[in-house]
Amino acid sequence: MTTETEDPDHKENKKTRHSIGAKKNPDTETAILDAAADIIAEKGIGGLRMEAVARKAKAGKATLYRWWPSRGALLLAVYQRKKPSVCYRDTGSLYEDFLHFAKDLIEIWQGENGLFFKAIIAESQSDPDVAEKLKDYHAERLEALAAVVTRSQQRGEIPQNEDPTTRAELVIGLLWQRLLNNRLDESIDEHIKMLANSDET
Amino acid sequence: MTTETEDPDHKENKKTRHSIGAKKNPDTETAILDAAADIIAEKGIGGLRMEAVARKAKAGKATLYRWWPSRGALLLAVYQRKKPSVCYRDTGSLYEDFLHFAKDLIEIWQGENGLFFKAIIAESQSDPDVAEKLKDYHAERLEALAAVVTRSQQRGEIPQNEDPTTRAELVIGLLWQRLLNNRLDESIDEHIKMLANSDET
């Protein structure tokens, strides 16, 4: 049986909204994210300035900063809205679950979204705020993929006493490295087999 | 028995020198790499311009371009000269060999050299020439670490029919991801154990 769980991005966003005790106005939210996306498309990620976003979206700066407290937060929000959701499948096989995840993400990254994410990683190396938001985002994705590993442990496919994030991190590290080295078109099958402890051919 | 093999960087450089049929004058080489390192220290990687390097080193632009045909090539040369060599050990255990490699590289990256390499990766996302040189460099390092895996296959520690670059790439992908996410101080022991097929505790 194959089931699919929703990308937790949206849930996370909702949670964040609740935690600041204020409900976003959907029209303003759309206007702000549209404005940020337009500015990025025109000037690149480095050209994104909070003031310009507020102006273009005709939104107050206080509103903008309440929902996205920094440039980094806004960048990641634009990326997450723009890219299709990754589904975390539950096929009953860690190899299949990992492979689906990796292939979905590679497909997403092979277009504009990959260029966008590469630019966020690049920006994070000189902007500590973007670095912090990227680290949070990475930790969230890692947790989502670790849940796939936990299910595999419960089925007895892999040892129960290992930290489920270990395998998840190796999968994600491989994919980041492929993205950053422009090698997304090369095979990942052997790697995924190894990380899933699988003899499938 | 533990033996150590030299970092292949230097051999690679010699090969390149032969292949262009010209011997580098060591004084000019030093002057050029010093000049490039000074400019990077002052202006950052993005501020490195070939003309300025030639001027500062009092070298001809033809000489500079003959030895380092692009900014990317010069950047990687400065990085390789600056950072200490990583030794590829032969301890008789893949786990130990991987662990030594990973810990050495993490130590090297925990200072200035890590900031330098992060900046090269960032720069490579917007400069295709730097991207190409980084990809070549990465392929070289991957090959060097794959030789460690091949020795392990010859000892029968891991299956002989797998591509030795697979495990090597997973190690390097993990380390890149840790570097880029500012997580070099977190443990890698579980990951290395898994990639070495090891039960060591």
Shared domain for A174 and A93, answered yes or no, is: yes
Q: Does B191 reside within a domain? A: yes
Cβ pair A170:B172 closer than 8 A: no
CATH of the domain at B105: 1.10.357.10
Determine the Cα–Cα distance for residues B69 and B44; give it in Å rounded to an integer.
Answer: 20
Beta bridge partners of A3: A90
CA B169 to each of CA A64, A188, B180: distance values in angstroms, whole numbers, following the listed order:
41, 11, 16
Residue bearing tokens 């050029």: B32
Determine the Cα–Cα distance for residues B175 and B183; give it in Å rounded to an integer.
Answer: 9
pLDDT digit string (tens) for B88-118? 989 999 999 999 999 999 999 998 899 999 9
pLDDT digit string (tens) for A18-54? 334 467 788 899 999 999 999 998 998 888 999 999 9
| CA proximity to A99, closest of A193, A183, A4 | A193
Residue bearing tokens 């662990």: B99
Size of chain A, expressed as the number of residues it contains: 201
Q: Does B200 reside within a domain? A: no
DSSP H helical segments within B58-184, as ranges?
A: 61-67, 71-82, 94-109, 112-124, 128-155, 164-180
In this structure, are strands A88-90 and B88-90 parallel, antiparallel, or unpaired? unpaired
| CA proximity to B116, closest of B137, B146, B97 | B137
Shared domain for B92 and B183, answered yes or no, is: yes
Q: Tell me, what's the ipTM?
A: 0.83
CA B64 to chain A, closest CA, distance in angstroms equals: 26
User: What is residue A184's predicted lDDT score, i.e. its pLDDT?
Assistant: 97
DSSP H helical segments within A156-195, as ranges?
A: 164-180, 189-195
Q: What is the DSSP letter of B90?
A: E
Q: Does B186 reside within a domain? A: yes
Q: Does A81 reside within a domain? A: no
The burial of B63, by beta-carbon neighbours within 10 Å (0-12 exposed, 13-18 middle, 19 or more buried), is given as: middle
Determine the Cα–Cα distance for residues A88 and A96; give it in Å rounded to an integer.
Answer: 11
Shared domain for B73 and B168, answered yes or no, is: no
Beta bridge partners of B172: none
B169: left (phi over 0), alpha (psi -120 to 50) or beta: alpha
Considering only CB atoms, B170 lies closest to which of A126, A134, A191, namely A191
Cβ pair B182:A131 closer than 8 A: yes
Containing domain of residue B55, as a range?
3-82
Considering only CB atoms, B181 lies closest to which of A135, A166, A181, namely A135
Shared domain for A10 and A95, answered yes or no, is: no
Cβ pair A194:B126 closer than 8 A: no
Determine the Cα–Cα distance for residues A11 and A109; give it in Å rounded to an integer.
Answer: 22
Of A16, A47, A75, the one marking the end of a domain is A75
Q: Does A83 reside within a domain? A: no
In this structure, are strands A3-5 and B88-90 parallel, antiparallel, or unpaired? unpaired
Determine the Cα–Cα distance for residues B69 and B88; give it in Å rounded to an integer.
Answer: 29
Considering only CB atoms, B173 lies closest to which of A123, A163, A174, namely A174
Shared domain for B108 and B165, answered yes or no, is: yes
In percent, how much of chain A has pLDDT > 70?
88
CATH of the domain at B28: 1.10.10.60
Shared domain for A62 and A106, answered yes or no, is: no
pLDDT digit string (tens) for B28-58? 999 999 999 999 989 988 889 999 999 999 9
Which residues of chain A does B190 touch, with a Cβ-Cβ cutoff of 8 Å? 162-163, 166
Cβ pair B181:A134 closer than 8 A: yes
The burial of A36, by beta-carbon neighbours within 10 Å (0-12 exposed, 13-18 middle, 19 or more buried), is given as: buried
pLDDT digit string (tens) for A98-144? 999 999 999 999 988 999 999 999 989 888 999 999 999 999 999 99
Residue B200 pLDDT exceeds 60 = no
Interface residues on B facing A, Cβ-Cβ cutoff 8 A: 118-119, 121-126, 131, 134-135, 138, 162-163, 166-167, 169-170, 172-178, 180-183, 190-191, 194-195
Q: Does B168 reside within a domain? A: yes
Q: Does A80 reside within a domain? A: no
Rg of chain A on CA atoms, in Å: 18
User: What is residue B197's predicted lDDT score, i.e. its pLDDT?
Assistant: 87
CA B62 to each of CA B13, B50, B51, B59: distance values in angstroms, whole numbers, following the listed order:
19, 11, 11, 8
| CA proximity to A180, closest of A127, A130, A109, A126 | A109
B21: left (phi over 0), alpha (psi -120 to 50) or beta: left
Domain count, chain B: 2
Q: Does B46 reside within a domain? A: yes
Contact of B197 with B149, CB cutoff 8 Å: no
Which residues of chain A does B105 touch, with a Cβ-Cβ cutoff of 8 Å? none
Residue B3 pLDDT exceeds 90 = no
Shared domain for B189 and B93, answered yes or no, is: yes
